[in-house]
């Protein structure tokens, strides 16, 4: 047999064009394994941080705000309404009823503790929940605590305390009345000026300080002077603590709780008897 000639070789450029083109696509191992799970984890983290900030904010808020928030989650249709008020403000306001009177008492105590001379004055400040409202009494000592002795002029301690009370009470829609009391020691300052005038003038001086410090002009309903007709210690009529100023924060009765206006037998028993006497001085402008 004759040897056949070898087949002609193709040029390299023709061979490259006839070869199939293979493209390899590699999937990322991390993305293919987890997918979008990191988005869910990030969303959970953001939610947890937001919850943390809300809790920290509540811990630093006043008790009224805490009660309002807690009351809403307990009963969105009713409980929160007992804590909030219809006043436009910072959210610190609330309507003072029998239910939340102890909260106001605690709030005022906390505010007074910030005073620099509180330790010196604390034994001369007394707050009592009565059938009329919250009674705040500022009692005098033998040498004078809040007023100059035998005078209707407030000293620095008296002005600071009344200003502190006014800043807190001015946020409330409740009305306020102010009373002045003396002991049974006859006033010897002037022939035509006695305990009646002194008690009324001291109550009016307290009103003026409170109204320039936070109490609204229409919030004070009465300024009264009782002289020695309502002694704090009837068994000791000359005791200095009978000389005092009383600030009464009056209740606001709830529409669906009219029975609150009636005193219980126990409350009537503990309530001091109101004498027939009493002078009321119209607040000067």
The arithmetic mean of pLDDT across residues 199-205, rounded, is: 95
184, 230 in Cβ contact below 8 A?
A: no
The residues, ordered by sequence, that sit 6+ positions from 71 with a Cβ below 8 Å of its Cβ are 79, 80, 82, 83
pLDDT value for 225 = 96
pLDDT for position 116: 81
Fold that domain 95-280 belongs to in CATH: 60s Ribosomal Protein L30; Chain: A; (3.30.1330)
Kindly give the pairing relationship between strand 133-139 and strand 125-129.
antiparallel
Average pLDDT over residues 208-216: 94
Per-residue pLDDT tens over the stretch 6-26 = 666 666 555 555 666 777 666
State mean pLDDT over 110-115: 87
pLDDT in tens, 61-103: 777 777 777 776 766 655 434 444 433 333 344 566 777 778 8
Domain range annotation of the chain:
37-84, 95-280
Over residues 139-162, the mean pLDDT reads 90
pLDDT-derived band at 117 (thresholds 50, 70, 90) equals confident
Confidence of residue 242 (pLDDT cuts 50, 70, 90): very high
In degrees and rounded to multiples of 5, residue 55 shows phi and psi of -65, -45
- Segment 218-245 shows an average pLDDT of 94
Per-residue pLDDT, 187 = 81
pLDDT for position 211: 95
Rounded-to-integer distance, Cα 115 and Cα 158, Å: 11
- Give the per-residue pLDDT at 34: 57
pLDDT on residue 97: 72
* C-alpha to C-alpha distances, 179 to 26, 102, 120, 221, 270, nearest whole angstrom: 89, 22, 23, 11, 20
Asked if 123 contacts 241 with a C-beta cutoff of 8 angstroms, the reply is no
Q: Look at residue 284 in the predicted model and tell me its pLDDT.
A: 42
């Amino acid at each position: 047999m004759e040897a056949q000639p070898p087949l002609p070789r193709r040029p390299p450029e023709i061979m490259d064009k006839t070869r199939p083109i293979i493209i390899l696509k590699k999937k990322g191992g991390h993305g293919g394994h987890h997918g979008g799970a990191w988005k869910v984890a990030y969303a959970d983290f953001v939610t947890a941080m937001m919850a943390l900030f809300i809790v920290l904010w509540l811990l630093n808020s006043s008790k009224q705000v805490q009660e309002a928030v807690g009351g809403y989650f307990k009963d969105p249709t009713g409980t929160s309404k007992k804590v909030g008020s219809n006043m436009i403000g910072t959210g610190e306001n609330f309507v003072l009823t029998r239910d939340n009177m102890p909260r106001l008492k605690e709030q005022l105590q906390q505010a007074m503790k910030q005073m620099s001379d509180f330790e010196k004055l604390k034994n001369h400040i007394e707050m009592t929940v009565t059938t009329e409202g919250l009674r705040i009494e500022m009692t005098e000592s033998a040498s004078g605590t809040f007023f100059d002795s035998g005078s209707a002029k407030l000293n620095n301690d008296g002005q600071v305390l009344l200003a502190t009370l006014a800043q807190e009470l001015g946020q409330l829609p409740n009305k306020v009345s102010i009373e002045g009391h003396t002991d049974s020691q006859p006033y010897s300052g002037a022939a035509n000026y006695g305990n009646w005038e002194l008690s009324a003038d001291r109550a009016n001086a307290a009103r003026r300080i409170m109204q320039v410090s936070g109490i609204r002009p229409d919030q004070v309903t009465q300024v009264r002077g009782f002289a020695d007709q309502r002694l704090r210690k009837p068994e000791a009529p000359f005791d200095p603590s009978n000389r005092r100023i009383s600030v009464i924060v009056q209740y606001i009765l709830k529409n669906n709780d009219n029975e609150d206006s009636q005193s219980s037998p126990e409350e009537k028993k503990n309530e001091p008897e109101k004498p027939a006497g009493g002078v009321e001085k119209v607040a000067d402008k």
